Amino acid sequence: MKMYLISDNIDTWTGMRLAGVEGVVVHEKKELKEALDKVLTDREIGIVLLTEKFGRDYPDLVNEVKLNHRHPLFVEIPDRHGTGRKPDFITSYVNEAIGLKL
């Protein structure tokens, strides 16, 4: 199984290439749709990394592939600007999930 990156910026793409992960840089919804269609047809790709910007800008498209396709696994990652999440994201997620305050 291979990993594949779909990024909105060249810096993230370059860093992942240095780690041996292939990928593509896209900027528009049509380009993102084409990249997602490509990875959905490639059975060797097991994990697709998407920069978080796509989840914010095109949630309909990203949620559709995450919810309706069992393979590959889609993971949103922060880009060079960091994550858009609040600093205690993980703690609040766990608190919400189990119903206890940690």
The H or E element spanning position 78 is none
Mean pLDDT of 52-64: 90
Give the separation between CA 15 and CA 92, rounded to whole angstroms.
Answer: 30
Q: Give every CB contact of residue 38 below 8 A, 6+ residues apart in sequence.
A: none
- Residue 19: burial class (beta carbons within 10 Å; 0-12, 13-18, 19+): exposed
- Look at residue 73 and tell me whether its pLDDT is greater than 70: yes
What is the arithmetic mean of pLDDT over 57-71?
A: 91
Higher pLDDT, residue 78 or 49: 49
* The pLDDT of residue 55: 86
- pLDDT tens by residue, 30-47: 999 999 999 999 999 999
Average per-residue pLDDT in the chain? 86
Q: Give the mean model confidence (pLDDT) for residues 57-86.
A: 83
Q: What mean pLDDT is predicted for residues 80-95?
A: 65
Question: Per-residue pLDDT for 5 more than 70?
Answer: yes
